Amino acid sequence: MPKLHRRELGLCCAWLVVCLTLGAVPAPTGQGGEDSEGPFDWSERWFSARSLGPSVGAPAPVVAGIPWGGAPTVVLFYLGGEISLTVARAAAATGCLRVVVLYPDAEPKDARELRQVLGGETAILVGGAAERALSDLGLGVRLEVVLFIDANGKVVHRVWNIGERDIVETLGVVESMAWRGAPPQGAVVEARVALGDCLAVPSQALECPDGSAASLHEGLPRLVFCGSPLDEGQSAAVRRALATLRGSFPEVEFLWIHPYVSASACEAFLRCFTFNYK
């Protein structure tokens, strides 16, 4: 069972979401509260395809008070994270991108401080207005999301649950949207996969955590899990539950994908980034 990392800025696989229904597998439980539910129930509740927002290639949903079209737009579902704030600063600094920040949890003081950081041209929706916009966009997941919408009102790129591993590529998309009105060639496109869809074997080179080459086999059924590499938490519980199936299904290829970009790669990119992102 290869455990794969995304190579240094390589494009092994981006945001592959695999929904599994394994009624025969006992689901581990957490410590209590919301975490007391099994990891599969937790995953379905928080990461349902019905709450992940518009797909790349789809027209941006109608949102009251926010016009699409005429200029490229960056929309951020913001919950106070430093990574998404860096993206918002970079987008606002271009002077040619429309920036919309949806900040439902903001206090009046938070909104004022954010406007001082991003400038008066940035649209900042807070409270009920932000919640309504999120509902219109179909974003029900309480995770930070960035949507890139072109001048024709079409979603051309999105980053879901943005974190350190995404900052290099996302800032590159910001720069390309500002100069070209489109994401850069070769940008990882987040795909949403539904039951019945056919998926090609990735053409990119894959490697195991120790640097050795990993290969996939044509014609085999495959179970793919893309999640956190941490040893604790719900993602780890899902991985452990799936691992119990390996002995019962030797004809199935089990594949764990761990998205990863090294800190040195991020730092090298930020040193040469053309906008003032700080």
| pLDDT tens sequence across 74-83 | 999 998 888 8
Same domain for 210 and 174, yes or no, is no
Residue 136 lies in a domain: yes
State which residues form the domain around 240.
3-21+193-258
C-alpha distance from residue 93 to each of 125, 182, 225 (Å): 19, 17, 37
The whole-angstrom distance between residue 77's C-alpha and the CA centroid of its chain comes to 12
Same domain for 185 and 228, yes or no, is no
Residue 104's CATH number: 3.40.30.10
For residue 25, pLDDT beyond 50: no
The mean pLDDT value for 197-211 works out to 73
Full DSSP string of 155-200: EEEEEES--GGGHHHHHHHHHHHHHHSSPPTTPPPP----TT---P
For residue 264, pLDDT beyond 70: no
Task: Of 51, 30, 52, 31, give the one whose Cα is nearest residue 41.
Answer: 30
Q: Which residue has the higher pLDDT, 262 or 247?
A: 247
User: How many helices (H) and strands (E) are present in the chain, helices listed first?
Assistant: 7, 10
Percent of the chain clearing pLDDT 70 (strictly above): 71
Predicted TM-score (pTM) above 0.75: no
Whether 275 contacts 245, CB under 8 Å: no
CA angle, 144 as apex, 141 and 146 as ends, to 5°? 110
Same domain for 136 and 203, yes or no, is no
SS3 238: helix
The mean pLDDT value for 100-112 works out to 88
Residue 171 lies in a domain: yes
Same domain for 72 and 96, yes or no, is yes
pLDDT in tens, 161-196: 787 778 888 999 999 999 999 999 877 777 667 677
**How many CA atoms lie less than 13 Å away from 215 in the CB half-sphere?**
2
- Which of the 8 DSSP states describes residue 201? P
Residue 30 lies in a domain: no
User: E strands of the chain, at which residues?
Assistant: 3-5, 73-77, 98-103, 123-126, 145-149, 155-160, 206-207, 213-214, 222-226, 253-258
Percent of the chain clearing pLDDT 90 (strictly above): 23
CA angle, 163 as apex, 84 and 21 as ends, to 5°? 120
- The domain tally of the chain equals 2
Task: Of 4, 1, 50, give the one whose Cα is nearest residue 206.
Answer: 4
For residue 217, pLDDT beyond 60: yes
Same domain for 118 and 213, yes or no, is no
pLDDT of residue 157: 93
